[in-house]
Amino acid sequence: MELKIKYQYTDYIYPFFIQKANYEKYLMKILKDKRFKIKLFEKQKDNGVYTYFNPNVRAYMFQSFEFDKKETKDLLELSNEMKVKLLKKMPCTFFEYNVAEDVAGKLGDESSIMFKMPSFELICFNTGICFLKIKTYLEGTDKFSDLLNFNYKFRDCNLEDAHLKKYENIKIQTDMFESISEIKNLIIDITGQATDDNLFTYSYACIDSENWNNQNNFEGIQNEYLKFSNILPSSYNLNLNQDELKAHSKWEYIRFGFSKLGGVTLSSGIEPFNYTRLPVMYENEYLYTMVLSMYQKLYLNMLEVKFNSRNKNILKQARKEFADFTKRVYFKDITNNVDGNIIYDKWQKCFEIENLYNNIKTKYDVIYKDEDIKKITRTNNALWIIILLTLLLGWFNLLVIAYR
């Protein structure tokens, strides 16, 4: 029996880097772009995010929660120059891309998969690490196989056309985008750069309860779930080691998947929670949990490059940044929500955060000890010089007395 979808969406996430020296210029570019507006979080409107994250995480990623109505109004009325001066001091800034209407699209020429792109979000950390998030959802189909094929194809949209030839022909037709290159050009326009890397896929699907219920258990759809988790097409013949799959669920009708290719959640419509509250949490609280973990990974990768440098100034700056990272970003827990911390721990392991951190800490400790040894050596040398000068001065005084 073919799996049927009750509710679904997929976010595609594109991480990119802005040189720290160019961060102010980039903020100015975005502020001048009429398609973007600053996204500010409010305690009432975004209560789920506010109550989910601990204060230390809110202070780092969601500072606008602490703005009162006057501060919010004043910020939005500032000139772009003044906005940049304020935003560059904030650890993290969010922007929304103004989509006038849901952008409809078609993937492929035969048996086309229709989809919409209702929103774009830009997340910028003042370290220069940024993320572009593109939301999509399918239209006119309830086939799970269509979702598998769409996720598999669309994540390649930033690759050069030459790379696409090894897959099926892809053609996107919309009022906004006429071809695959249009989406690629939009990404380049927003980020200022292009890459051959695939987009990170973050997908949610709630399937019809007829496919997963008391009589039809998870084992019957496990192969489809594995394709979903590994961003594979519906026609793929599975030969995967299921023990290696990073999955989690404390619920009978929900499965979370974690990989370096993307994150997925598959649920059954047998529980109303799975097509009402959970999709909202997955796209907000759980999404920002994943973004924070990916940010930590990218930040640590940047620091590792600096710690491999032989330039003393770069090493000095790296030591300072690593200490700041440890104090402000290396969170052991991010929420009082038990399930949220389990999901955070899964992403930490998936992105190998602890290993990256410990490798850098080892280099940090070696440099720190080396500096301490040098300081002790300099101190000892200074003491010997003082002692020698004292002895010489004493002998000089004795000679003077004897001469008299």
The tens digit of pLDDT for each residue in 343-380 reads 999 999 999 999 999 999 998 887 766 555 455 445 54
Same domain assignment for residues 88 and 160: yes
Same domain assignment for residues 113 and 73: yes
Q: Give the domain-ending residue among 239, 273, 307.
A: 273
Average pLDDT over residues 95-105: 70
pLDDT for 131 beyond 70: yes
If one compares 300 and 366, the residue with the highest pLDDT of the two is 300
Average pLDDT over residues 301-318: 90
Q: Is residue 390 part of a domain?
A: yes
pLDDT for 115 beyond 50: yes
Same domain assignment for residues 313 and 222: no
Contact (Cβ atoms closer than 8 angstroms) between residue 63 and residue 92: yes
Q: Is residue 278 part of a domain?
A: no
Average pLDDT over residues 63-79: 93
How many domains does the chain fold into?
2
Joined tokens for residue 322: 């690593």
Write down the pLDDT at residue 383: 57
pLDDT for 224 beyond 60: yes
Q: Is residue 15 part of a domain?
A: yes
Write down the pLDDT at residue 117: 82
If one compares 167 and 216, the residue with the highest pLDDT of the two is 216
Let me know the angle formed at the C-alpha of 71 by 287 and 77, rounded to the nearest 5 degrees.
Answer: 95
Write down the pLDDT at residue 176: 59
Same domain assignment for residues 182 and 331: no
Same domain assignment for residues 310 and 266: no
pLDDT for 166 beyond 50: no
Average pLDDT over residues 259-287: 96
Per cent of the chain over pLDDT 70 is 77
Same domain assignment for residues 233 and 289: no
Same domain assignment for residues 51 and 193: yes
Q: Is residue 333 part of a domain?
A: yes
Q: What is the mean pLDDT of the chain?
A: 84
Same domain assignment for residues 40 and 159: yes
Average pLDDT over residues 104-109: 58
d(CA 201, CA 10): 7
Q: Is residue 279 part of a domain?
A: no
Write down the pLDDT at residue 370: 53
Reported confidence tier of residue 331, pLDDT bands at 50, 70, 90: very high
Reported confidence tier of residue 103, pLDDT bands at 50, 70, 90: low
pLDDT for 167 beyond 50: no
Reported confidence tier of residue 162, pLDDT bands at 50, 70, 90: very low
Range of the domain at 96: 5-273
Write down the pLDDT at residue 161: 46
pLDDT for 275 beyond 60: yes
pLDDT, tens only, 41-50: 999 999 999 9
Range from 85-94, 125-134, 273-282, 307-316 carrying the lowest mean pLDDT: 307-316
Same domain assignment for residues 75 and 104: yes
pLDDT for 326 beyond 60: yes
Q: Give the domain-ending residue among 224, 251, 273.
A: 273
Same domain assignment for residues 288 and 269: no
Same domain assignment for residues 260 and 183: yes
Write down the pLDDT at residue 385: 62
Per cent of the chain over pLDDT 90 is 59
pLDDT for 306 beyond 50: yes
Write down the pLDDT at residue 301: 96
Q: Give the domain-ending residue among 273, 292, 325.
A: 273
Same domain assignment for residues 211 and 314: no
pLDDT for 382 beyond 60: no
Average pLDDT over residues 272-284: 96
If one compares 52 and 249, the residue with the highest pLDDT of the two is 52
CA 230 and chain centroid, separation: 19
If one compares 49 and 219, the residue with the highest pLDDT of the two is 49
Average pLDDT over residues 321-347: 94
Q: How many CA atoms lie less than 13 Å away from 74 in the CB half-sphere?
A: 8
